[in-house]
Amino acid sequence: MQMTTTFDEMWGRGMGQSQGHSATASDDGASGGPNSRSSRMTQAQTMYEGLRPPYAAFDAWLKGENPGRLLRKQHEAEEVFRLTGITFNVYGRAEAAERLIPFDIIPRIISGREWARLAKGIEQRVRAINAFLHDIYHRQEIIRAGRIPVEMIARNAAFLSKMIGVEPPGGVYTHIVGIDLVRTGEDEFYVLEDNARTPSGVSYMLENRETMLQMFPELFSRNRVRPVSNYPLALRRSLAACAPAATRGDPVVAVLTPGLYNSAYYEHSFLADKMGVELVEGHDLRVVGGRVAMRTTEGYKPIDVLYRRVDDDFLDPLNFNPESGLGVPGIFDVYRAGGITIANAPGTGIADDKAVYSYMPEIVRFYTGEAPILQNVPTWRCNEPQALRYVLDNLHDLVVKEVHGSGGYGMLVGPTSSKKEIATFREKLLANPGNYIAQPTLALSTVPIFTRAGLAPRHVDLRPYVLVSPDGVTITPGGLTRVALKKGSLVVNSSQGGGTKDTWVLEE
């Protein structure tokens, strides 16, 4: 299935076909006259089919801006990120192990009406995911009903049999969720992935907004943009609301990191600092008197809620990988006994398995009794012979992903791959078809980015962040927009050359 819908989120359908009309930016900032840089920028904008209403106030501001000033502001923003230390680590590339994540100063803008619909669909999906996780680790009604094949669960490496019968505090499995969305039309959004283990990137969302507030304070007086700065407080409150019955007094929350060399270490330390909680590593913790406790200057202090950024396999060497030096011996036994909340719960990875993803419309219907508000991308499960034949015959048109892959690694984007790359991937598919799913190449929406040559269209996705507790579901307005900075690229991951943007959700 080839999806050909195109849509530019700022200027309608014409932008992607008019790249050559972008303005040229320069430090001299010359303006005025029909051939000036600022004039050419305005002319380029008016060539598109029509400005979308959410961008009206921003567009009016942009037309009055000096391109040279914008270029200087782009450089200032990059320097802010550098001085703040907003970096990520790239594994396997010793010569450039730590990189600055690229940031673009042109915001992505979503209307309040659009966001209201998205938020409703996100909440529906997240509630269904939590219900699904509870079910597969208890009665497995969805399997009994024949809606999901038993082998999809039983043979899944992300299914944690040790979680069978375990009741997490408050009944919450996915305390923090990131739902990756792509837009393909005016009112058409697809869910690309569900991130239910340890979704990352929220620190970039917060820093992007802070940087825009510093660079362009006047924009926020012209546009009624919903705030995101309360996320750390909301996260702490949501985690505290999930504290176990063993809690005495105010819940003690901590963030567990694998350590300094983890790709998301900046985010771990950032969130711990913003929440006002301790950032700990496995060697800082031990089981004391049936509780997990952290080392302090006054001795060991029990922890009630642990926001872990360590994978299941490394969480507890006594119960999982015995070679792990990142986790805490015995923590899983304390968890099963109700002595600590682990967020997200062990075993949640099966909910963001890409083969299970293909059943999400059925999962939503089964647990909510409603039609899914947000659509899934059509998906072929390569472990099914008929699907495999179709995928092998159409590799040049499809995107093929590893079932447990992430970060843009281990995937094939057929339309942009060489014959040699396709032939190599064909061999991988034939050797282990169950390790892959395939999807059509979506014509993703584009938004403008700022370049030295002016504005240029690039493809984007959106990762809203969702907090779940017994008190309800909280969705931060907007989320993280990831942008494929390479012309024509559909891969937005920072590890693959992508960048980020501030995402504005306007008040109605």
- Residue with tokens 């939590």, as numbered in its chain: 130
261-271 per-residue burial string, b: 16 or more CB within 10 A, e: under 16: ebbbbbbbbbb
Domain ranges in the chain are 1-129+175-225+444-508, 130-174+226-368, 378-440
For residue 329, which amino acid is it? P
Residue 40's pLDDT band, with cuts at 50, 70 and 90, is: very low
Rounded distance, CA 58 to CA 167, Å? 49
Mind giving me the DSSP string for 293-313? EEEETTEEEE-SEEEE-S-GG
The pLDDT, as a whole number, for residue 36 is 40
Give the containing element (helix H, strand E) for 239: helix 231-240
Rounded distance, CA 405 to CA 273, Å? 30
Peptide bond preceding 344: is omega within 30 degrees of 0, i.e. cis?
yes
For residue 225, which amino acid is it? V
What's the CATH number of domain 378-440, 1.10.357.10, 3.30.950.10, 3.20.20.70, 3.30.1490.270? Answer: 3.30.1490.270
The two three-digit tokens of residue 324, written as one number: 């792990």
Residue range 90-113: average pLDDT?
A: 75
**What are residue 375's DSSP bridge partners?**
190
Q: Cα–Cα distances in Å, from 80 out to 1, 101, 171, 201, 412?
A: 43, 12, 41, 18, 35
The two three-digit tokens of residue 469, written as one number: 């507790």
The pLDDT, as a whole number, for residue 86 is 72
Q: Do 177 and 348 form a contact (C-beta atoms < 8 A)?
A: no
Q: Around Cβ 301, how many Cβ atoms within 10 Å? A: 14
The two three-digit tokens of residue 38, written as one number: 């600022």
Residue 18's pLDDT band, with cuts at 50, 70 and 90, is: very low
Residue range 479-505: average pLDDT?
A: 85
Q: Cα–Cα distances in Å, from 227 out to 28, 177, 480, 482?
A: 34, 19, 13, 19
Calculate helix-pair angle for 67-84, 202-215, nearest 10 degrees.
130
**pLDDT digit string, tens, across residues 232-245:** 999 999 999 999 99
The two three-digit tokens of residue 253, written as one number: 């929350």
The SS3 assignment for 152 reads: helix
For residue 123, which amino acid is it? E
The pLDDT, as a whole number, for residue 13 is 54
Largest CA distance in the chain: 77
Rounded distance, CA 347 to CA 326, Å? 18
Report H helices in 369-478: 385-393, 419-431
3-state secondary structure string across 50-83: CCCHHHHHHHHHHHCCCHHHHHHHHHHHHHHHHH
**pLDDT at residue 45 above 60?**
no
**pLDDT at residue 74 above 80?**
yes
Residue 88's pLDDT band, with cuts at 50, 70 and 90, is: low
Residue with the larger pLDDT of the pair 315 and 404:
315
Residue range 61-81: average pLDDT?
A: 91
Instruction: Select the highest-mean-pLDDT range: 4-8, 158-162, 261-265.
Output: 158-162
Is 130-174+226-368 assigned to CATH 3.40.640.10? no
Residue with the larger pLDDT of the pair 26 and 364:
364
**Torsion 359-186-446-391 (CA) sign:** positive
Average pLDDT, rounded, for the chain: 87
Residue with the larger pLDDT of the pair 27 and 199:
199
By CB atoms closer than 10 A (0-12, 13-18, 19+), residue 212 is: buried
Q: What is the pTM of this model?
A: 0.88
The distance of Cα 331 from the centroid of its chain, to the nearest Å, equals 28
**pLDDT digit string, tens, across residues 334-349:** 999 999 999 999 999 9
The two three-digit tokens of residue 254, written as one number: 């901590």
Closest by CA to 479, choosing from 107, 221, 7, is 107
The pLDDT, as a whole number, for residue 39 is 38
Q: How many H helices and E strands in the chain?
A: 15, 23
Closest by CA to 127, choosing from 196, 224, 71, 212, is 196
Residue range 406-429: average pLDDT?
A: 86
For residue 423, which amino acid is it? A
**DSSP 8-class letter at 223:** S
